[in-house]
Amino acid sequence: MKKSVISMFFVVLLFFMAACDGGSAKNAADIGDDGYYENGDTGSYNDNYDSSDSDYGADTGSNAPNPADPGDTGYEDWESTDGENYEETDPADTAPSPEPAEEPEPGELIENDWVETATENTSTFSIDVDTASYTLIRNYLLKSHYMPPKDYVRIEEMINYFDYDYPQPEEGRPFSVTMEMADSPWNKDTKLVMFGLQGKMLDPDKVPAHNLVFLIDVSGSMFGDDRLGLLKKSFKKLVEKLDKDDKVSIVTYASGVNTLLDSVSGDKKDEIIEAIENLEAGGSTAGYDGIQRAYALAEKNYSKDANNRIILATDGDFNVGISNTAQLVSYIEEERNKGIYLTILGFGMGNYQDDRMEQLSNAGNGNYFYVDNERESDKIFTYDLMGTMFTIAKDVKLQVVFNPEKIAKYRLIGYENRVMANEDFNDDTKDAGEIGAGHRVTAFYEVIFAEKKPAETPETDPETEEGGEPAETDPNEDDPAAEPETVFGEDDFLVLKMRYKEPDQDISKYMDTVMTSANILAEMSQNMGFASSVAEFGMLLRDSKFKADSSYNSVLSRAKANIGKDTFGFRGEFIELVEIAKSLDH
């Protein structure tokens, strides 16, 4: 009898060990080599790959095995990877868990369809300055020679990856507005409408101090040069920009949570960098506990005159504690109301959770970047991140009211995750996107005229060409929330309405501007030419039902003609991506 019991025990033990081993396997499609800029080697691609297969992604999903990726070791946290000061999460330090919520479906993007103005002539959406989608697409095309999964293609993030030459705003305004209309390059029966917003630059003497919490994922899945290795290099670049007025805290999470630094002055660079250098990866991923600890630390050290922000660096693979995205979003939404914003930096591939990262950053009034190599790290940590960390306008909503006498149909290109109900435009309790200092936002509508073409298409008005700022309605000084009734003039095609809040205010301000025939360009400006080539490329990658006569040759021709100054070479790199996609899409 004893032998039988012992035999059964060993059988159960073997099954348990096999299950643990299987749970630690990761994705074979990990494509995180960060050396492609230097060696120019983009690998080989699968000639049998069919880009039209909507089920593509099985090789890059979070459940595919990857023996080369150590991932989550599956071991319990009997040994700390954070050094001798490791501490378990204190239950008293943990906020009550939100009520359980249904996990949202990770997202299939449903493209915005055509809308008839006779039925509904108003379209509302929140701005978006995230750029992660473009970097993910680049990672697929340039590193692994695979077409990206279609639902990774968010056209607005592709467009907003690039800089455009929009003017600085007038004194007293947080952003300028540029409006242009021109013939659509991919459909002879439609026009393109472009809106460009340019955030004001801050006077260096008026830049507020930073109160930052670095929340760093050091779980096993972050092991590797393209993950924790690249993360260390990136954060050190940020630390070099801090001064004595800035404060830095560091929280790490793996199987448990550890506070490495608590409000250390930015001029103590050696101490901060040493803490970053000593990070090691291992263990499971208690992401929710880490988020709670970071917010508690940010709240404890909160300064009303500072930029209070958590910078979360992760691959998004939470597997200990609460991992439900809806619950995480709910918690972060509560915390953002305390004036603490959240920026997310994504690293690695394989088990990368793009959809989750986008939702969490949106909930935290922050931004979402994906870091795939050191050159991208330079771009983010020396330019993009420093700008977006200083919010100059929050909850920025755009509402476009089309004149049915001029426009028969319209569709918003991209921004599917940012579309809002029209009634939300005037509701100051509804969250929307933020604009950081010096940041730009670009959006496109495709429209069909009520008549094939206007009676006369005038030459471009020099006052509105290439970023000239059209006249805007001055906000009512007595009631900044006042919104005039929409009355179209004879030459008005649409009215662009905008609502935004000052960073420290809860009541929105209103402004608007009108598009007339003076905004119609005989030829696209350089801004519109390049941005529209990126939009067309996005439609090709998505195999959009609205792509009409889009082609890679059209994208290449227009991008090359409008490449402009290209100081950092990112536009030239875009052309390289289009060439690769053209060779794969057959």
Please give the angle made by the CA atoms of 165, 384 and 107, to the nearest 5 degrees. Answer: 100
- Beta strands in 414-523, from DSSP E residues, in sequence order: 419-420, 433-436, 440-449, 492-501, 509-516
Q: Give the pLDDT band (50/70/90) at residue 326.
A: confident
Task: Pick from 106-115, 335-344, 382-391, 460-469 the range whose average pLDDT is largest.
Answer: 335-344
**192 vs 359, which has greater pLDDT?**
192
| pLDDT value of position 38 | 35
**Torsion (CA) 53, 55, 56, 61 in degrees, nearest 10:** 180
| pLDDT value of position 129 | 83
Stretch 37-59: mean pLDDT: 34
Task: Pick from 94-108, 181-195, 350-364 the range whose average pLDDT is largest.
Answer: 181-195
Asked if residues 381 and 347 have their Cβ atoms less than 8 Å apart, the reply is no
For the segment 249-283, what is each residue's pLDDT rounded down to a tens digit?
999 999 889 999 999 999 999 999 999 999 999 98
Residue with tokens 């080369």: 68
83: pLDDT strictly greater than 60: no
3: pLDDT strictly greater than 50: no
**239 vs 10, which has greater pLDDT?**
239
50: pLDDT strictly greater than 80: no
| pLDDT value of position 322 | 58
Q: Which amino acid is at 122?
A: T
The rounded Cα 277 to chain-centroid distance in angstroms is 27
**297 vs 35, which has greater pLDDT?**
297
| pLDDT value of position 339 | 87
Q: Give the pLDDT band (50/70/90) at residue 351.
A: low
For the segment 521-571, what is each residue's pLDDT rounded down to a tens digit?
999 999 999 999 999 999 999 999 999 999 999 999 999 999 998 988 999
Stretch 407-434: mean pLDDT: 96
Task: Pick from 2-11, 25-34, 293-302, 328-337 the range whose average pLDDT is largest.
Answer: 293-302
| CA–CA separation, 460 and 466 (whole Å) | 10
| CA–CA separation, 385 and 312 (whole Å) | 13
For the segment 430-483, what is each residue's pLDDT rounded down to a tens digit?
999 999 888 999 999 999 999 754 444 444 343 443 334 444 455 555 565 667
Residue count of the chain, please give it: 586
Asked if residues 511 and 472 have their Cβ atoms less than 8 Å apart, the reply is yes
Least confident of 52-56, 169-173, 336-340, 546-550: 52-56
SS3 letters for 335-384? HHCCCCEEEEEEECCCCCCHHHHHHHHHHCCCCEEEECCHHHHHHHHHHH
Stretch 84-111: mean pLDDT: 44
| CA–CA separation, 145 and 58 (whole Å) | 16
| pLDDT value of position 153 | 96
Stretch 11-17: mean pLDDT: 43
Ordered domains of the chain (ranges, CATH): 121-203+392-584 (2.60.40.1230), 208-389 (3.40.50.410)
For the segment 180-215, what is each residue's pLDDT rounded down to a tens digit?
999 999 999 999 999 999 999 887 777 788 999 999
85: pLDDT strictly greater than 80: no
Stretch 152-160: mean pLDDT: 96
Please give the angle made by the CA atoms of 383, 386 and 392, to the nearest 5 degrees. Answer: 115
| pLDDT value of position 11 | 41
| pLDDT value of position 250 | 97
408: pLDDT strictly greater than 50: yes
| pLDDT value of position 109 | 82
Stretch 86-101: mean pLDDT: 36
| CA–CA separation, 230 and 234 (whole Å) | 6
Beta carbons within 8 Å of 217's beta carbon, 6+ residues apart:
252, 253, 254, 285, 287, 290, 312, 313, 314, 315
| pLDDT value of position 352 | 63
Asked if residues 212 and 311 have their Cβ atoms less than 8 Å apart, the reply is yes
Q: Give the pLDDT band (50/70/90) at residue 228.
A: very high
Stretch 417-424: mean pLDDT: 96
Identify the CA nearest to 143 among candidates 26, 30, 25, 28. Answer: 30
Least confident of 49-53, 122-126, 322-326, 360-364: 49-53
| pLDDT value of position 520 | 96
The string over 178-204, giving b where at least 16 C-beta atoms fall within 10 Å of a residue's C-beta and e elsewhere, is: bbbbbbbbbbeebbbbbbbbbbbeeee
Least confident of 95-99, 191-195, 227-231, 337-341: 95-99
100: pLDDT strictly greater than 70: no
For the segment 472-523, what is each residue's pLDDT rounded down to a tens digit?
455 555 565 667 788 999 999 999 999 999 988 899 999 999 999 999 999 9
| pLDDT value of position 357 | 80
Give me 396's structure tokens. Answer: 């920025």
Pairing status of strand 419-420 against strand 122-126: antiparallel
Least confident of 1-10, 163-172, 231-240, 253-262: 1-10
